Structure 1
């Protein structure tokens, strides 16, 4: 089981509870539907073999684990959000996926024995935990020697990175919270994971985000269904909400490549592949 020291000062305990509440807000399972095509592309690049064991950290409602299990992979998902785990379990049961397993748990203290998995993935998930050194240690710990850790992390300069910067200007993050976007910096990633790696491959990619409605409605969609935007919006008064909405609408409109009334944005991310030493 986790080697992470779970003794935390009250301030960090309060922050982690707030983060749990944030990720349980909205409806991540519904939110992620429009992101599914490139999530499946990420899964395909994992090149999983039938005898391998997969752990997806911060798994949401199972957007990686469910299709992996459909292919017969023994796949486990773990997430801090209780409602996402319950929905993921429902989906697995509905489809009769006996190789899919889901646990409620923390990326900073994974509830698994050392070297339990052949592949450990996290697509825009583990990067949002507040203590990145704990996350890095846990990802390395549960991956077997010779196994792989594969992360997708938003870059600071990409569209989603810019979106989080907009939100942060309106609702500043806790000073206890390490910037999630540091996971999108190549040097930082190598520093955090390099000591446990035989080698690291980092590739810059673009993630396609396509919505059949315009940028203003995309912002409304994020406010309704995406926990971080939902909670930031709720923390503001009426004038603040209008200002946040206006800034987000401006960002989405500026990044939009569609000309037919829909929204198509490509957001840069780092795809990080670590081979465990």
Structure 2
């Protein structure tokens, strides 16, 4: 192996370690359960998952989609770069009396054989892997010919995409070659990534309403406590109090602007996402 290859491998391992730590921070299982519980079952329905199918959930987190897939009778493997999320997933699965396999795995280099699954899906997970083409190629590779690929991804224009845009001026720069996650929420980008490797590629833009927090300022603090990417941005600025204050100000202004509720003591946000389905050619 050349020195350059060794350096590239070392850089990639460092990047993946940071990603794992990011999603292990805070409480993503709470975010998934409290803010977006309906998206997992919706993806299962959109993918047409049936009893007996072999299903892989890529970047499954705590199983927001994997557990509903198992509940309909599929044989499910939930994979994620951050196995710290699996404990919560196992508890949820046990409460719902379903069984599935949990496997630590990098979405850009999945440890599964070619053509091994009837359905390969990802609910707001694979979109956060830094190298989009590698991720798309892996989703296709492990899907069987004639099988289904299905994803839910936040759009750049929607609430979560704009949350990331608000944090971007305060965030660490992306490493060379890495791409911003919300690009997965644009039809042209997804079309380019999958290319001729899929057929019947369909897109549907939809929204989910998030209305669990009583005020914008309390909702800001919720993100700061629970959501890994937000925690990482604040950690990046922890030695710069003025930047933290500016981020707090901009974050609150963003939440106030996007709040659609007119009722005192309530907030309401419509978060847009892109539902993607495709078929691997037989």
Report what 2:218 is aligned to.
Answer: 217
Aligned length, in residue pairs: 272
Counterpart pick for 2:266 among 258, 262, 266: 262
Q: 1:7 to 1:108 in 2, by over 3 A?
A: farther
SS at match of 2:85: helix
SS at match of 1:9: helix
Answer yes or no: is the 8 Å Cα contact 2:41–2:69 preserved in 1: no
RMSD in angstroms over aligned alpha carbons? 1.9
TM-superposition CA deviations, 1:233-258 (whole Å, max 9, x none):
12213222222122111112211112
Where does the alignment leave 5 or more consecutive residues of structure 1 unmatched?
none
Alignment partner of 1:171 is 2:171? yes
Give, in whole Å, the separation in 2 of the partners of 1:249 and 1:39: 28
Report what 1:276 is aligned to.
Answer: 280
Give, in angstroms, the shift of residue 224 of structure 1: 0.4
Answer yes or no: is the 8 Å Cα contact 1:80–1:104 preserved in 2: yes
Report what 2:149 is aligned to.
Answer: 149
Q: 1:6 to 1:190 in 2, by over 3 A?
A: farther
Report what 2:105 is aligned to.
Answer: 105
Give, in whole Å, the separation in 1 of the partners of 2:37 and 2:56: 18
Residues 240-251 of structure 1: pairs in structure 2 closer than 5 A? 240-251=243-254
Give, in angstroms, the shift of residue 95 of structure 1: 4.1
Answer yes or no: is the 8 Å Cα contact 1:120–1:148 preserved in 2: yes
Q: 1:136 to 1:15 in 2, by over 3 A?
A: same
Report what 1:131 is aligned to.
Answer: 131
Give, in whole Å, the separation in 1 of the partners of 2:10 and 2:86: 26
Residues 48-197 of structure 1: pairs in structure 2 closer than 5 A? 48-98=49-99, 100-176=100-176, 177-197=178-198
Give, in whole Å, the separation in 1 of the partners of 2:6 and 2:144: 23
Give, in angstroms, the shift of residue 7 of structure 1: 9.0
Q: 1:7 to 1:210 in 2, by over 3 A?
A: farther
Give, in whole Å, the separation in 2 of the partners of 1:36 and 1:242: 32
Answer yes or no: is the 8 Å Cα contact 1:202–1:271 preserved in 2: yes
Give, in angstroms, the shift of residue 86 of structure 1: 2.6
Q: TM-score, normalised by structure 1?
A: 0.92
Where does the alignment leave 5 or more consecutive residues of structure 2 unmatched?
none
